[in-house]
Structure 1
């Protein structure tokens, strides 16, 4: 990297190049995170849940088969399917981080450690 005192123009070119690269990576990360949601379903498909990065519930679909279930069984099933989708969304987000920043990045390592701790 050029010195700001010895080569101010070179320093500015280098700085502008680094800023442009950061903007590109941020844009790539935004796009990747927008698609990192995950959907999970119960074994027989009575419950389907879509969860975004961060755990926000995006969609909950229930089939008429739930009418045969007790309220407690349905609640447990929804929680289990939600948990599966949330864990998948976390792994998807970590994959998106790795795609943008590379596997050998502190942020990616921290995210991997966190998602592996949830398994």
Structure 2
């Protein structure tokens, strides 16, 4: 019975640590000249897009491409942050971390 209680306590502690770590797994990226700033959360959820006054000089097509590129950078960073959070809780060699890494898109 004590072994079971110990395992439950460990699982609760890991879940709490994971919840905190994943909650902080956001990332912000900026375009090269600062026209666009994008913040992305867990799972690639878009949290914020900020367009500076410099962005007003761009064509709609250029601005759209810049937003997408900046989003992609932030999403990749957020994914890396999430993977690190999982590794911190479950260990770098754990099955869940290995599965997440195997399913990540390749970095360009």
Which residue among 14, 21, 25 is the counterpart of 2:14? 25
Q: Is the CA contact (8 Å cut-off) linking 1:32 and 1:96 kept in structure 2?
A: yes
CA RMSD of aligned residues (A): 0.8
CA–CA distance in 2 between the matches of 1:32 and 1:67? 37
TM-score, length basis structure 2: 0.96
- Bigger radius of gyration among the two: 1
TM-score, length basis structure 1: 0.87
Runs (4+) of structure 1 exceeding 3 A deviation are none
- Between Structure 1 and Structure 2, how many residues are aligned? 107
What secondary structure does 2:44 align onto? coil
Structure 2 gaps, min length 5: none
Which residue among 93, 98, 118 is the counterpart of 2:82? 93
